[in-house]
A = this chain, B = another copy of it.
C-alpha cells in the first residue's frame, strides 16, 4: 500500500531527495529530521514511497538501508537494474548509470539482482 494522503511528513521527506542525486540512508534521514518527524514515521513513509515507485532502496555492506530517487521505476515494479556505488573513504553512496549484465543462469529464474560496488569516489580518488 502506497501513499494515500499528502501529509507534512511526505512533503518533508520528498524535499530531502529533491535535486539530490545521491542515495541517503534511513539512519541519516532520521537524524536530519529528528526534530520534525518521528523515526517510525520516517521508516513508514520511506516504505510507502518505495511502494509507489518514487524511491528505491538497497542495503549496503553493513546492512543499513539506503534510499534513492527512482528513474524509470514504476508502481508495478522496479525495472532499473543499476548498480550502487559506496565510497569507502567519504561514505557517499550513489546510483551508477552504467548497466551491469547478469548472465543467464542455467535452470534458475532470476527475479531481482543487486550490485553494490565499493571503492573511492570521484572526489576521494585523487
Contact = CB atoms under 8 A, between A and B. Distances in A.
Contact of A100 (B103, B106, B112): B103
Q: Is the interface of A mostly helix, strand, loop or mixed?
A: loop
A105 B88 contact: no
Copies per complex of this chain = 2
A85 interface: yes
29 contacts: A59-B61, A59-B63, A61-B112, A63-B63, A96-B105, A98-B103, A98-B105, A99-B103, A100-B102, A100-B103, A100-B115, A101-B101, A102-B117, A106-B122, A107-B121, A108-B121, A108-B122, A109-B120, A109-B125, A110-B117, A110-B119, A111-B119, A111-B120, A112-B117, A112-B118, A112-B119, A113-B117, A114-B114, A114-B115
